[in-house]
Amino acid sequence: MEDHQSQNEPPEIPQTESEEDEKRQFESVAEAMRSAKDDATNRAKEAAPKMKSAVAAAIYDLTYGGAYGAVFLGAFASELIPKPVRESFSKGAKAGRDTAKKAKDKVCDTMKPKAEEPSGGEVVIDIDPEPAGA
């Protein structure tokens, strides 16, 4: 009868040390959480330099393309616009800067505190002999 029972049970497969290492048996939930945190930290440390490099390359490409496009567009527009129009833009910009400077100076003069005249300590009191409306 022993032979019959042993036939129903699956044969036991001996495990090697590497298979035992691969299987993780946690004794507690805390140990499992600690192990997961350690694994995640290690993988993040491995991925961080790659991610940093990819972000830096993307920012470089974006700023290079933007600067190139702006300069190209400016140079192209400069060649396309006739010289008299460019000169009038230049004169108008200079006139605008001059007017803005004058307005700024006027505001600064208005905001400066005025020097008070020194008084001799006299106080003038104006008293009407008759009340108003009487």
For the segment 33-71, what is each residue's pLDDT rounded down to a tens digit? 888 899 999 898 888 888 999 999 999 999 999 999 999
Q: 44, 51 in Cβ contact below 8 A?
A: no
Q: What is the pLDDT of residue 119?
A: 60
User: What confidence score (pLDDT) does residue 1 get?
Assistant: 47
pLDDT in tens, 65-97: 999 999 999 888 888 888 888 899 899 999 999
Position 59 scores a pLDDT of 96
The residue that leads in pLDDT, 79 or 10, is: 79
* pTM, entire model: 0.36
DSSP assignment of 22-78 equals: HS---SSHHHHHHHHHHHHHHHHHHHHHHHHHHHHHHHHHHHHHHHHHHHHHHHHHH
The model's pLDDT over 99-117, given as tens digits with 9 standing for 90+, comes to: 999 999 999 888 887 766 6
pLDDT for res 97: 96
Q: Where are the domains of the chain?
A: 24-110
